[in-house]
Structure formats: structure tokens, C-alpha cells
Structure 1
């Protein structure tokens, strides 16, 4: 701390007053992160966005598995308070169905983060089979527009990639063209 009260230690304190942690400035996480439902917002997209904001608000240590200080450490109480805020971010940015599956009393943010990850990444084989089936038999006739159809194919591709069943661009384009009706033969031949 310099004599004029400017913090040079990186602790965020000025003139002996503790600075308010940036986590307290977030009133509604939904202004930052969309609701994870696994359909409109995929798990990988949600995670990328959540991690971005966690880093920006300097709370990523709550979701990356960093060991908290001992319960006797003076910083422990403040860490628990901040952890409760970040946990509220998770609970507030997932669908009600997911919330019911991961909500537990006395949970830490990291524990909830891991339970949520398990919801999407466990049973990979069964999910891959179901998604592959949906991907293979998806057709334009089920959608109002070509854009909706393409977006759905892209969403399924993202979900397959999330669980390690990679769909490359060539396969995605071939699938798109293969399931187009005869009206789109010219477009399909061009692609």
C-alpha cells in the first residue's frame, strides 16, 4: 500500500478498507449466462460462457477444483460466502429439470459443478446412440424453415462433440444434403 492509499499488493484494499469482491455486483446471472437446458443451450456452450464470467469475476477457483483454505483460516468465512453466490449463479442458470437433479443441501459450488457435469457426460454411450439416431433421421419436413433445420443439425452436432462422438464438417454437410427434399436438389448438388 502506498502512502496515498493506492493498493499495490493486488489485494483490492485501499486506505485500510477491504474492497468489495466483484461477485457482489452481479444481481442476475441471466444477464450474463443463458439458461442451460441441454437443447436450446448446450452444455458445452453454457460451460464456456460460465467459465468466461467466472474468470472475469475472479471466482473460477470455485469451479476448477482448487482446494479451499482450512476452516480455521481467517479467509475461509469470506470464501464460503462468495462460494454461496457462485453456487446461486449455477442454480439460477440451469433449467428446473436440471436443478432438481443436482440440488443438494450444504453443497459447495464445485460439488454442484461436478454433479452437473455428470448429468451431461455420464452415460456417454447411451446418449451418443440416441443423438446419432436423431442426427441420422432428422429431416427438413419437421421444421418450418431450412434455417431451423440447419440449426437443429448444428445443435445435435455440438451435443455429439460434447460427449466425444465427433462430427466433422464434411459429415455434417453430407447429412444436411442427404435429408433435403427433392425441391433442394440444385442446392444439394452445389454443396
Structure 2
């Protein structure tokens, strides 16, 4: 998953997702396309787009325990970004125990 195991992943540097995605996605005020585009740009710039959009080509599953742990941690990070940028109504609609970002 990463060439340099000691490198710090850029997604972990995000301390406040709302400063990068200032729109709260709501059921009533449909701004999905704007929210989704901002989210996609942010995910791409932090090298986690593959957690929200399936790659066009098959990607090998993480092979080591460290890679699996990194993937799970990154997925939880991106899922937290989604949860932090949507309304409570939407959150209550999509939140599921042990859900992945792709499922949300």
C-alpha cells in the first residue's frame, strides 16, 4: 500500500474537515453535487479517493498486517470525514456498525 512504511499519510494531517468542506450535506437543501465534488477533490489530494470511488482497475488487497491496519485506519478516517460533513438526519440514515466508507 505504501512504499515507505515510516511515512506519515497525508490524510492524517486533516484536523478539521469542515475547513476544507464547508458545506453540510442535508436532505432538504440538496447540494449533493457540490458536496460530492469538494469531497472528491479533498480525498484525491489526501490520497484516499480509492476509499470512496472504486478504482477502474483491480487493485491488490493489502498484503501485510501493517498494510491492512493502515487501510482500515484510513477508511475510518474518511468515514469520519463523511459523518462530520452531513446533517444529523443523513447521519442517522447511513450510520451502521462496522460500516466501510464505500458502504456509506
For the aligned pair, the TM-score class normalised by the smaller chain equals: 0.7 to 0.9
User: Which structure: greater helix fraction?
Assistant: 1
Gap runs ≥5 in structure 1: 1-9, 113-191
Q: Hey, what's the Cα distance between the residues in 2 that align with 1:22 and 1:57?
A: 5
Report the TM-score, using the length of structure 2 for normalisation. 0.84
- 2:52 aligns with 63
Between structure 1 and structure 2, the one with the greater Rg is: 1
- 1:25 aligns with 13
Aligned residues: 97
Report the TM-score, using the length of structure 1 for normalisation. 0.47
Root-mean-square deviation over aligned CA pairs: 2.0
Gap runs ≥5 in structure 2: none
Choose between structure 1 and 2 for higher RCO, CA contacts under 8 A separated by at least 6 residues: 2
Determine which of 77, 86, 106 is the counterpart of 2:78. 86
Query: Does structure 1 residue 46 correspond to structure 2 residue 38?
Result: no
